[in-house]
Amino acid sequence: MTRPSNLAPLRWLGGPLIWTAHFLLVYAAESLACTRGGGPLLHDAITAVATFAALLGLAVLFRINKRAADAPSREDFEMAEWIGLGLVAISALAVVWSGLAALLIPACVLPA
């Protein structure tokens, strides 16, 4: 019987935290790439790399959380680990959707 460490909440919240980092990065990068040089190609590259990295990070986190969830522990702690896994999954969905936006819409185009 194990109980989660005091740092476990970071693991549980890891999914949304990765989403946050990815979101801020791709959004800020468009402002910078389009106004301060680099252009659409640079932003395409940044978005592709960031999205790939975020999904990879989520996959790794999923494995880590899964291992913790599989370890025998009290019922309510098991549920906490499960919540961490759920958050990774929903964050992955959100990252994929951001990627979809970049895939369908060209960078550095203003509404007209």
Partner 1 sequence: MRARWRGPFLLLPLLLAGCSTIQSALHPVGPEASRILDLTWVLFALAAFVTIIVLSALALALFGPDRARRRIADGRTIVALGIVFPVVTLTALLGYGLWVMRENTSPSPAQPGLQVEVIGEQWWWRVHYRLPDGTIVASANEVRIPTGREVEFALRSADVIHSFWVPSLAGKLDMIPGRTNHLRFSADRPGVYRGQCAEYCGGAHALMAFEVVAMAPEDFDAWLAALPATLPPPAEPEATRGGELFVAAGCGGCHAVRGTAADGTTGPDLSRVGERRTIAAATLPNTPDNLARFIAEPSHIKPGVLMPPFTVLSADERRAISLYLAGLR
Partner 2 sequence: MTAAASELDRDLPNPLPRPEGELEQLQAIWASPKGWRIFSDVNNTVIGLFYIGTAFLFFLMAGVLGLLIRLQLAVPSNTFLDQNTYNQVFTMHGTVMMFLFAVPVVEALGVLLLPQMLAARDLPFPRLSAYAFWAYFVGGMVFFTTLFFDLAPQGGWFMYPPLTNERYSPGIAADFWLLGIGFIEISAIAGAIEIVVGVLRTRAPGMSLTRMPIFAWTMLIFAGMIIFAFPAVILATMMLELERAFGWPFFNPDLGGDALLWQHLFWFFGHPEVYIIFLPAAGMISMIVPAMAGVPLVGYRLIVVALIATGFFSFGLWVHHMFTTGIPVRSLGFFSAASMAVSVPSGIQVFAWIATIAAGRMKMTAASLFVFGFLVIFTLGGLTGVMVAMVPFDWQVHDTYFVVAHFHYVLVGGMVFPMFAAFYYWMPAISERPLSERLGKWAFWLIFLGFNTTFFPMHLTGLIGMPRRVYTYPEGLGWELPNMISTLGAFGIAAGVGLVVVDLIRNFRPASSGGPGNVWNAGTLEWLPNDTYATRSVPRVVSREPLWDQPGLSEDVEAGRYYLPGSATGMRETIVTSPIDGEPQYLMRLPGPGWSPVFAAVFTAAFFLLLTVKLVTIAMICGVLAIVSVLVWMWGSDPAPTEPADIGGGVVLPTYATGPLSHSWWAMIVLMLVAGALFFSYLFGYLYLWTVSPQNWPRLDALPPLQTALTAAALLLVSGSAIPISAALLKARRCWPSLVVATLGVATYVAAITVDGWSQWASGLRPDGSGYAALVFMSSVLQAEIAIPCVLMVGFLLVRLAAGRFDATRRVMFDNLALLWGYGIAQALFGMLLTHGFPRLVG
Q: Quick one: 7 or 105, whose CB is closer to partner 1?
A: 105
Asked whether 3 and 74 are in contact (CB, 8 A), the reply is yes
Q: How far is CA 42 from CA 52, 56, 81, in A?
A: 15, 21, 38
Residue 49 binding result from partner 1, partner 2, none, given CB thresholds of 5 to 8 Å by partner type: none
Residue 39 binding result from partner 2, partner 1, none, given CB thresholds of 5 to 8 Å by partner type: none
As measured in angstroms, the least distance from the Cβ of 52 to partner 2 is 16
Site residues for partner 1 per CB under 8 A: 93, 97, 100-101, 104-106, 109-112
Q: How far apart are the first and last CA of the chain?
A: 61
Q: Quick one: 7 or 109, whose CB is closer to partner 1?
A: 109
